């Protein structure tokens, strides 16, 4: 859901909240000194924005088409996988990106 700072009994803390679909975790981290906390907060918020907009799910692929070689008489045809892509209205790319970097 988001990344922010919040006052806690240990002082200012970095707080990461995940969505309900990811377990609705609220994780708190103490980062000292304050300047380092601001730096880490800015970096994590930037990563969150990037991965929310264009998530990486750990699968990369390239498509290529093989043409029949002259004289060989062999050809390679593309094979369609039998898969179903579910378009979920509420995805949690942030939680996936956290797993990617940890």
Percent of the chain whose predicted confidence (pLDDT) is above 90 = 31
Q: What is the mean pLDDT of the segment spanning 52-75?
A: 64
Residue 29 pLDDT level (bands cut at 50, 70, 90): very high
pLDDT the model gives residue 91: 58
| Angle ∠(53,99,29) on CA atoms, nearest 5 | 100
Longest dimension (CA), the chain: 77
pLDDT digits (tens, 9 = 90+) for 11-23: 899 999 988 888 8
Residue 51 pLDDT level (bands cut at 50, 70, 90): confident
């Amino acid at each position: 859901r988001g990344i922010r700072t919040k006052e806690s009994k240990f002082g200012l803390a970095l707080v990461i909240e995940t969505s309900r679909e990811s377990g609705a975790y609220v994780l708190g981290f103490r980062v000292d000194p304050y300047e380092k906390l601001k730096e880490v907060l800015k970096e994590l918020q930037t990563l969150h924005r990037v991965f929310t907009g264009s998530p990486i799910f750990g699968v990369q692929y390239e498509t290529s088409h093989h043409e029949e070689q002259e004289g060989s008489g062999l050809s390679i045809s593309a094979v369609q996988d039998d898969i179903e892509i579910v378009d979920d209205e509420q995805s949690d790319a942030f939680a996936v990106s956290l797993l990617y970097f940890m």
